[in-house]
Structure 1
Amino acid sequence: MSRQPLLSRRTLLRGMGALMALPLLEGMRPGVARGAPVPAPRRFAVFYTPCGIHMPKWTPGGVGANWSLTPTLASLAPVKNDVLVLSGLDNLPGRPDGDGHHAAATSAFLSCVKALKTEGSNIRTGISMDQVLAKAVGKATRFPSLELGIDQGKGIGNCDSGYACPYANNIAWAGPSTPVPKETSPRAAFERLFADFDPNITQAELAKRRAYGLSIIDAVRDDAKALEGRLGTTDRRKLDEYFTGVRELEMRVNAMEGAGPTCGAVATPVDTLDVREKTKAMMDLIVLAFQCDLTRTCTFMLGNARSQRVYSFLGLSGEHHAYSHHQKAQANYDALAKIDKWEVEQYAYLLQRMKGVLEGEGTLLDHSAVYFSSEVADGNMHEHTNLPILLAGRAGGALSPGRHVQYEDVPLANLYISLLNIFGVPVTTFGDGTGPLTGLAG
């Protein structure tokens, strides 16, 4: 027999004109008398990085469980047993008509559908697999999906050899002609997720809250204290961990924007341009959004196609895209290795944060699948075969990580078919796929 949950999944904390969502607590999940608890929900996250990877320093030695970390993958050491390295998967629909490899492949990154080459508004590709998933499971959460990124990019015009800018700037597509725009402001994403204002608040009350510089948690503290009295020990611990995470992220966002506590009203600050701070803030947002069960599907773009970012903090003076066209020059190889290593470190940070969140009979990472890749392999040759792919987490027991699995000439879309099946979406075809990918469960 099932018993009703103590709290509604839609429970919000209220105070000082703020509404704050709660993490997924045990008291929100229906229990089963004399039976096993309800399994934690599964989540899916995508980490996209542009311009390819320097593959000689990426590909691990050994296959199966006996694989070794390469210099590029070294930061994965603490989570090595939580990661699958998948080699030999191809995304041939990413090949362009003529030039335009980066934009064409980015548009096909999650759709595995060839894009129509156009600079106009008549863009056409395919629905991305994250949006197929969001349509299937998104009704269970406040946000069907969450799209985040670092760079906004142009919305119109030519962004890569005759390919329109939406192809280069988006990996999430709700339909063939409908990219899902990403949020590139940590402040805006934070407030959207955790600090929705009560529509009934007066302007005077809102001005008072801002003037006092109250944090979200300060605003809802009284309601939070009342709630804690109704919770068990485990839920009180989870709530405390969640508040700590939200407060730390809030402080980081405020510090990034120069918007600390103030005794007077301030104008809306400008977001930081420091990619290091911005990326960590976005990773923390993903963790908290999953922990709060605000969404179960999230995509993140570390940059747009043909990224021209200069990684000066790595001691580099050239642009990423320029380095990716290495022309077999050792100096360019060395620069790419530094960039690739830093990118994987950001992914490793996300995984370790998720691994640190206890949930049900495991961790947030145990119940998730976290995908990392780029639109091409070698950026100089614009290779659409043997893509650099990592898949972390156990997806509630459906994945068996800690291995390097080698394939040969297998469509990337087969991986997406398998992932959709794992999340309960009974598709048999997707993109140019030929069927589910074997070997993910060991």
Structure 2
Amino acid sequence: MKMKKLTRMLEMTRFYPTIVKMHVKVVGKKGGYANRGLLIQTVHDDDVDFIPPPSQPFNHNYHSESEASSRVDLSMIPEEDDSEEDEAALIPKQKISKARDAKYIAELPAIVPPPMEPRTIQKPIRKQLARSRISHTSHATAATVADLNDDWPNLTALIYPRQQRVISLTAQTQTIQRVLHEAINLAIGLAIFQNGFAPTAQQLADSKNSIVLAATKFELPDIVYRFERDDLYARHLITYVTGRVGHMRGKVKDAAQELVPSMYGIHQIPVENNARKSFVANLLSRMNFIFPRTNMAESSSICTIMRKYFFSGHKSLGRRFHETFSSSVNSDDSKEIPRAMLGIVVVAIFAALKEWSEGCDQRMTQDFVSAEFSDEYDLHMSLIQSKIHKEDGSGKLKYHALMSWLYREARIGEGSNIKATADKMPELDFDGMDG
């Protein structure tokens, strides 16, 4: 890996207070994998929290379509196997129904080696296998899986899926698991502190950078080397990390599904005469379900869901990234909820309410796919920027009052000594908001 390329990658993300100097030297037979020397100088603490890149001015008018998004389906990720203790606390396991599993198998990619004759595998074919593409129709044989790891150091070995599945975390070596756990942590940090519903191409890029940084942090140059050169290897790792970020968003929506009916009293509204349908439509209208014009305290649904997912438990994301929360103003150091985290929660509530929009006795379950809700997320980010913070920054104190209040409310019950008090609630005027 060239110094300039790594420096540029670290400059893009700046996850750690780390000084990294890397030099990779390749010697040996032409075309073969040879000895590589790596010099890494690091200044960091393993307990240092995630530090996201500097915030950029928000632009809600972006649109992104990429070839990557057509190859990788981010809507599903296996939930049944892939968590050690830390990951399990963050993402609870659930049983997958046969119907969901069938859909998952139909949508997720599998590994397809090119055709080959039995007992005729030569080194050129092995290299061809390592570059084989992901398809939806075939599966990798045991022989192929072994061949895919040939020509690479044992430390980098990846256990590929046998059928139409993404990789299993628990099937991997301890080294690969360690890198993936760290990469997932970094990628989720970007999602909740920078952009909760980034375009597909950006999600994949964030996952790629997270994997490289994780391997670099643990001084594993062989993994970085293979990741940069073995397309199939990289694609499986990137798909897995990106999927876990989508899984995080899905768990926020699960929390909203559970709490929305009682928080908004949906079951108390009769189905007859379209009363329930009209009630839900009114909640969704002009975002009344988030910031009612009459009483800011009624937006406590946001705090309730945020508290349930992000701040409950000693291994919650709120605790994991405690030092990353900060203030956007110099006059008050009270920590704020990042707008990306707020956006994820708001979109989850929106999605949960939409499932009741037909006014039926039971909700109509809908998939929480990132691409289908990114416009809603952008709308809320635009509202925060234009109506609260203001483009000229004139509303920055009002923005800080709201975000710091949300942080205090979300942390109630976390084990801190924070208590809810009415005088801490910000006075905000949303009457002038456009629908």
Decide: shared fold, TM above 0.5: no
TM-score normalized by structure 1?
0.24
Higher normalized helix content (fraction of residues): 2
| Greater C-alpha radius of gyration | 2
| Structure with greater strand share of residues | 1
Give the alignment's TM-score, normalised by structure 2: 0.24
